[in-house]
């Protein structure tokens, strides 16, 4: 059930969360599948509905930096600086978890991912939740899609992903299309210096500027095997996958392949900044925006549209090797890895 975010709908959403139900929640990055982070049974329903492995932690969304103190056992000074600079906004911080708090949401790990979203609907739910009786101190809210699939950036995408799962109705607050379109940047703040786990809208140079510290980088595969590194959401090497197979190619390779296929080409979509031409009417050509911000905003919606059109293969032009494109590059590389895996 999709509802506009009226006062009555917000009140209905908070009541549902208090009762251990799930909520489709808009944020500026993607839509989340939310539950009260302190209700382990409710959080367990997120894992079941998404088909998400139990050990993969969830990001907990909080109303502000003060609310984060309930979940974090310690907040180093550089993490506080990041909160002051980028919250509310698309930045998740990995911090030591307070014992006995949100254990299920954290996947049983000693750390927890915290974020203060900027979307006005998410903020309204979080702020009013804090004032409720009993209070909702934070919302565990991974992307509202089946595990490993393309994240939803519109309310309708949530229903497409999760309807018919046989796990009951789902209330979704419609906050419009997500402004940013890809998931938050994740920074590990539990190792004494900031370590970038997942790129996003907030870039490494922004983090270094605010903290005055060098920013480490940590590969997902190494993190998964390193007992000293916290598990973090959205850092699997294969993720964000449409139904179609994704291949990354440079512009000349794409145009050459289109020429070889000629008029016989079909069931293929092309997403490229460079203008492409094909004699086949059955090949879907979609122009990628020139800027990383515009590309990020539409990326997941474009991948979904290709699935709707029934394509079997998606050729994506490789993006520039520039820091501003890191978030987009990360998502398309993971989508391609899902196909190859």
- Which run of H or of E encompasses 140? strand 139-140
Cα–Cα distance, 317 to 146 (Å, whole number) = 26
Cα–Cα distance, 173 to 262 (Å, whole number) = 45
Strand order in the sheet with 283-287: 245-249, 313-317, 268-272, 283-287
Cα–Cα distance, 81 to 86 (Å, whole number) = 9
**Token representation of residue 70:** 């309930």
Binding-site annotation, residues: 29, 52, 61, 111, 115, 141, 143, 151, 184, 198, 240
Q: What DSSP letter does each residue of 62-120 carry, written as one string?
A: -SSHHHHTTTBS---HHHHHHHHHH-SSSEEEEEEBPTTSSTTTTTT-SEEEEE----H
Cα–Cα distance, 171 to 169 (Å, whole number) = 7
Cα–Cα distance, 211 to 23 (Å, whole number) = 35
Which residues lie below 8 Å from residue 132, measured CB to CB, with a gap of 6+?
A: 14, 18
Binding-site annotation, residues for ATP: 52, 111, 143, 151, 198, 240
Sign of the alpha-carbon dihedral angle for 242, 304, 334, 175: negative
Which residues lie below 8 Å from residue 177, measured CB to CB, with a gap of 6+?
A: 153, 154, 297, 301
**Token representation of residue 185:** 């940047």
Q: HSE on the CB side for 168, CA within 13 Å?
A: 13
Helix, strand, coil % (nearest 5) of the chain?
Answer: 35, 20, 45
- Which run of H or of E encompasses 34? strand 32-36
Binding-site annotation, residues for L-threonine: 29, 61, 115, 141, 184
Would you call 2 exposed, middle or buried from its count of C-beta atoms within 10 A (0-12, 13-18, 19+)?
A: middle
């Amino acid at each position: 059930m999709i509802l506009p975010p009226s006062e009555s709908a917000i009140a209905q959403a908070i009541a549902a969360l208090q009762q251990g139900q799930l909520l489709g929640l808009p944020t500026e990055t993607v839509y989340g599948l939310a539950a009260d982070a302190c209700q382990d049974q409710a959080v367990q329903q997120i894992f079941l509905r998404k088909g998400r492995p139990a050990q993969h932690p969830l990001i907990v969304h909080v109303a502000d930096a003060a609310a984060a103190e309930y979940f974090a056992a310690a907040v180093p000074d550089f993490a506080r600086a990041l909160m002051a600079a980028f919250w509310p906004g698309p930045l998740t911080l990995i911090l030591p978890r307070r014992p006995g708090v949100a254990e299920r949401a954290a996947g049983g790990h000693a750390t927890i991912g915290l974020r203060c979203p900027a979307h006005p609907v998410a903020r309204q739910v979080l702020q009013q939740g804090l004032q409720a009786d009993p209070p909702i101190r934070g919302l565990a809210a991974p992307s509202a899609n089946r595990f490993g699939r393309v994240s939803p950036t519109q309310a309708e995408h949530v229903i497409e992903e999760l309807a018919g799962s046989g796990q009951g109705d789902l209330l979704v607050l419609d906050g419009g299309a997500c402004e940013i379109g890809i998931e938050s940047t994740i920074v590990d703040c539990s190792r004494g210096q900031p370590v970038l786990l997942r790129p996003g809208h907030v870039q490494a140079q922004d983090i270094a500027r605010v903290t005055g510290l060098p920013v480490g980088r940590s590969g997902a595969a190494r993190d998964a095997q390193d007992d000293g590194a916290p598990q973090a959401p959205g850092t699997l090497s294969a993720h964000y996958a449409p139904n179609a197979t994704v291949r990354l190619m440079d512009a000349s390779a794409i145009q050459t392949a289109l020429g070889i296929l000629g008029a016989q080409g079909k069931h293929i979509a092309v997403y490229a900044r460079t203008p492409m031409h094909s004699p086949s009417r059955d090949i879907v050509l979609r122009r990628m925006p020139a800027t990383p911000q515009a590309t990020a905003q539409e990326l997941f919606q474009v991948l979904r549209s290709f699935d709707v059109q029934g394509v079997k293969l998606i050729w994506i032009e490789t993006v520039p090797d520039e820091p501003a494109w890191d978030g987009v590059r990360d998502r398309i590389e993971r989508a391609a890895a899902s196909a190859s895996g």
